[in-house]
Amino acid sequence: MIRGAILRDVIEEQHEQAPQPSAAGLAEPMRSRWSASVYDDRHRLTDTEVETLLRAAQWAPSAGNSQPWLFFVCVPGTANHDRLVATLSRGNSSWVPRASGVFLTAAHVHSGEDADAPAYSDYALYDVGQAAAHLTLQARSMGLHAHQFAGFDHHVLAESLGVPATHRLLTGIAVGVAGDPGDVDERTAARDHRDRERRPLEEWVRHGRYEA
């Protein structure tokens, strides 16, 4: 109980953006989760933290327990990190390298190497997204921020990581602790103060049949 209370205090201190008014009723760590872009590049994840984050993904539900995911760990100073950084889009190259680590996700989409091989699972993308969400929320509950991103050269990175033809490289999840906005360029610092908005429930919830 006490640990939970301390964690909540830490989370309260660290959120600069969340909760938005409509997120106020959510449980932690969903309430204070948001995609931070200013990271402290001196912070490092411990091996135990990396493993705990991966375990959150491991225990995500999946269709028929198929677990159709593959994760690549990219922490600064490793070849995987260099491979990732070399392929980042311009917008992402200003903030992703400062995170303490990035988890790249890939989905097992084809059951064989041939282009016409049947799908491995109709729900592979759904399941990998869910595993990514679990990792992201676990990070928040550990007092870390996580920011998912897809802006990198998928083809080049898949090649340099040796991703098999049966799999599709999907996203990165950058994880770290909040840094000093003074350490980054103005544009990157401003990203953490963007308005966070959501479509209203009425737009995408139906309590009966679909009506436009």
Ligand X SMILES: Cc1cc2nc3c(=O)[nH]c(=O)nc-3n(C[C@H](O)[C@H](O)[C@H](O)COP(=O)(O)O)c2cc1C
As a whole number of angstroms, the distance between CA 202 and CA 193 comes to 27
Q: Which two tokens stand for residue 37?
A: 């872009």
Binding mask 19-48 for ligand X (x = CB under 6 A): ---------------xx-------------
Q: Which two tokens stand for residue 199?
A: 């479509």
As a whole number of angstroms, the distance between CA 39 and CA 100 comes to 8
Stretch that binds ligand X, among 50-58, 59-67, 147-155, 199-207 (CB under 6 A): 147-155
Subset of residues 93 to 132 that bind ligand X, contact rule: CB under 6 A: none
* Smallest distance, ligand X to C-beta of residue 211, A: 27
Residue 150 as a binder of ligand X (CB under 6 A): the answer is: yes
Residue 80 vs 148, nearer CB to ligand X: 148
- State the DSSP H helix or E strand holding residue 37, giving kind and residue range, or none if neither: none
Residue in this structure with the two tokens 């311009």, named with its chain if needed: 90
Three-state SS at 71: strand
* Smallest distance, ligand X to C-beta of residue 149, A: 4
| Interaction site with ligand X (CB under 6 A) | 34-35, 92, 148-151, 171, 196
